[in-house]
Amino acid sequence: MPILLEAIKELKNSGFALLQTLGKTLSEWKDEIGRMWRFSRNNGITEGFHRKMKLIQRRAYGFKNFENYRLRVKVLCV
């Protein structure tokens, strides 16, 4: 976080209007940016499950038994 604060300070003191605007924007969002780095999580596992479920659906096109689909998802996504 100290590096971010220093960068924001340098941007605000820059002679270029666009960099000053960027510094102002980052300053307004610094709490949110700090939280993002502190509590970073991603949803890669969930996205992988969704992708696998869609693949199962494509392969099972025409099958009408939802229970079999549910069981297959449970087996392949665990």
Residue that wins the pLDDT comparison between 46 and 6: 6
Q: Residue 32: its pLDDT value, please?
A: 86
Write down the domain spans for the chain: 2-38, 44-76
Average pLDDT for residues 51-73, to the nearest whole number?
82
- Tokens standing for residue 7: 């960068």
Reported as type and span, the H/E element at residue 6 is: helix 2-12
pLDDT in tens, 16-32: 999 999 999 999 999 88
Q: Judge whether 21 and 11 are in contact, CB under 8 Å.
A: no
Q: Residue 49: its pLDDT value, please?
A: 86
Q: Judge whether 4 and 26 are in contact, CB under 8 Å.
A: yes
How many C-beta neighbours within 10 Å does residue 8 have? Answer: 20
Q: Judge whether 77 and 52 are in contact, CB under 8 Å.
A: yes
Residue 34, pLDDT above cutoff 80: yes
